[in-house]
Amino acid sequence: MTRGAETKKRTVKRITNRLVAVMIFFLFMSGCLVVRAVQLQVLDKDFLNQQADTRHLRTEIISAHRGSILDRKGDPLAISTPVDSIWVNPKKIVNSIEKVPLVAEIIDVDSETLINRISRNMDKEFLFIKRHLNPTVATRVMTLKLPGINIQREYRRYYPASEVTGHLVGFTNIDDKGQEGLELAMNHWLEGEPGAKLILKDRLGRTIENVESIKPPRHGKDLKLSIDLRLQYLAYRTLKAAVKKHNASSGSIVILNVQTGEVLAMANQPTYNPNDRSQFFAARYRNRAITDIFEPGSSIKPFIIAAALESELYRPNSMIDTSPGSITIGNKKIEDHKNLGHINLTTMLARSSNVGVTKLAMTLESDQLWRTMSQFGLGEITSSGFPGESAGMLTHFSNWRPISQATIAYGYGIAVTPLQLAQAYAVIGNNGVMQPISLFATEKPNMGERVISIETAFALREMLEKVVHPGGTGIKASVDGYRIAGKTGTAWKAAKGGHSKDKYFSIFAGLAPASDPKLATVVVIDEPGGDLYYGSDVAAPVFAEIMSESLRLLAIPPDAVSSSKSNDLIQAMINEDTPQ
Helix (H) or strand (E) holding 223: strand 223-224
Beta-ladder partners of 135: none
Can you tell me the distance from the alpha carbon of 199 to that of 212, in angstroms, rounded to the nearest whole number?
A: 7
Please compute, for residue 285, the number of CA atoms within 13 A of its CA located in the half-sphere on the CB side.
22
Q: List residues with catalytic annotation.
A: 298
Q: What is the pLDDT of residue 446?
A: 84
Q: What is the pLDDT of residue 351?
A: 95
Can you tell me the distance from the alpha carbon of 158 to that of 172, in angstroms, rounded to the nearest whole number?
A: 10
Flag whether pLDDT at 580 surpasses 50.
no
Can you tell me the distance from the alpha carbon of 376 to that of 509, in angstroms, rounded to the nearest whole number?
A: 14
Q: What is the pLDDT of residue 567?
A: 55
Q: What is the pLDDT of residue 4?
A: 64
Alpha helices for 213-281 (secondary structure H): 229-245
CA angle at 52 for the pair 200 and 210, rounded to the nearest 5°? 10
* pLDDT-derived band at 52, boundaries 50, 70, 90: low
Output the 3-class SS for 183-213. HHHCHHHHCCECEEEEEEECCCCCEEEEEEE
457-473 mean pLDDT: 96
- Average pLDDT value over all residues in the chain: 89
* pLDDT-derived band at 574, boundaries 50, 70, 90: low
Q: What is the pLDDT of residue 357?
A: 97
Whole-model pTM: value is 0.83
Distance (Å) of CA 515 to CA 20, 179, 447, 519: 119, 42, 22, 12
* pLDDT-derived band at 443, boundaries 50, 70, 90: confident
Distance (Å) of CA 512 to CA 238, 433, 477, 541: 18, 17, 11, 14
Q: Which residue, among 193, 181, 118, has the nearest Cα to 149 in the 3D structure?
A: 118
Q: In what order do the strands lie in the sheet with 250-257?
A: 263-269, 250-257, 519-526, 498-512, 485-495
Distance (Å) of CA 531 to CA 59, 89, 272, 503, 534: 68, 66, 29, 12, 9
Strand pairing class (207-215; 195-201): antiparallel
Residues 6+ apart with CB under 8 A from 473: 298, 350, 351, 352, 467, 487, 488, 534, 535, 536
Distance (Å) of CA 61 to CA 86, 178, 335, 441: 14, 20, 70, 34
Residues 6+ apart with CB under 8 A from 440: 223, 224, 225, 226, 262
Helix 402-409 vs helix 366-375: angle between axes, to the nearest 10 degrees? 40
Report the percentage of the chain scoring pLDDT > 90: 62
Q: What is the pLDDT of residue 579?
A: 44
442-465 mean pLDDT: 94
157-175 mean pLDDT: 94
Q: Which residue, among 12, 499, 56, has the nearest Cα to 297 in the 3D structure?
A: 499
443-452 mean pLDDT: 90
Q: Which residue, among 240, 242, 294, has the nearest Cα to 540 in the 3D structure?
A: 242
pLDDT digits (tens, 9 = 90+) for 193-228: 888 777 676 655 566 666 667 778 888 999 999 999
pLDDT digits (tens, 9 = 90+) for 274-283: 999 889 888 8
Q: Which of the 8 DSSP states describes residue 221? A: P
Beta-ladder partners of 521: 255, 510
* pLDDT-derived band at 50, boundaries 50, 70, 90: low
Q: Is residue 431 classed exposed, middle or buried when 0-12, 13-18 and 19+ CB atoms within 10 A define those classes? A: buried
12 vs 97, more confident: 97
* pLDDT-derived band at 235, boundaries 50, 70, 90: very high
Q: Which residue, among 451, 120, 194, has the nearest Cα to 307 in the 3D structure?
A: 451
Strand pairing class (69-70; 223-224): parallel
φ and ψ at residue 303, rounded to 5 degrees: -80, -25
Can you tell me the distance from the alpha carbon of 559 to that of 470, in angstroms, rounded to the nearest whole number?
A: 18
479 vs 125, more confident: 479
Can you tell me the distance from the alpha carbon of 483 to that of 265, in angstroms, rounded to the nearest whole number?
A: 21
Q: Map residue 253 onto helix, strand or coil.
A: strand
29-56 mean pLDDT: 65
Q: What is the pLDDT of residue 474?
A: 96
Q: Map residue 141 onto helix, strand or coil.
A: helix
Q: Which residue, among 448, 428, 451, 453, has the nearest Cα to 437 in the 3D structure?
A: 448
213 vs 474, more confident: 474
Flag whether pLDDT at 48 surpasses 60.
no
Mind listing the domains of the chain with CATH numbers?
59-224 (3.90.1310.10), 229-577 (3.40.710.10)
Flag whether pLDDT at 57 surpasses 80.
no
157-186 mean pLDDT: 94
Helix 301-310 vs helix 354-362: angle between axes, to the nearest 10 degrees? 40
Widest distance between CA atoms in the chain: 163
57-71, 205-219, 303-317: lowest mean pLDDT where? 205-219
Residues 6+ apart with CB under 8 A from 53: none
* pLDDT-derived band at 316, boundaries 50, 70, 90: very high
* pLDDT-derived band at 578, boundaries 50, 70, 90: very low
Beta-ladder partners of 199: 58, 210
Strands (E), 89-194: 127-133, 149-158, 171-172, 178-180
Flag whether pLDDT at 377 surpasses 90.
yes
Helix (H) or strand (E) holding 367: helix 366-375
457 vs 50, more confident: 457
pLDDT digits (tens, 9 = 90+) for 133-152: 888 888 888 888 888 888 88
Report the percentage of the chain scoring pLDDT > 70: 89
Can you tell me the distance from the alpha carbon of 189 to that of 182, in angstroms, rounded to the nearest whole number?
A: 10
pLDDT digits (tens, 9 = 90+) for 512-549: 999 999 999 999 999 999 899 999 999 999 999 999 99
Flag whether pLDDT at 51 surpasses 70.
no
pLDDT digits (tens, 9 = 90+) for 117-137: 888 888 888 889 888 888 888
Can you tell me the distance from the alpha carbon of 417 to that of 522, in angstroms, rounded to the nearest whole number?
A: 10
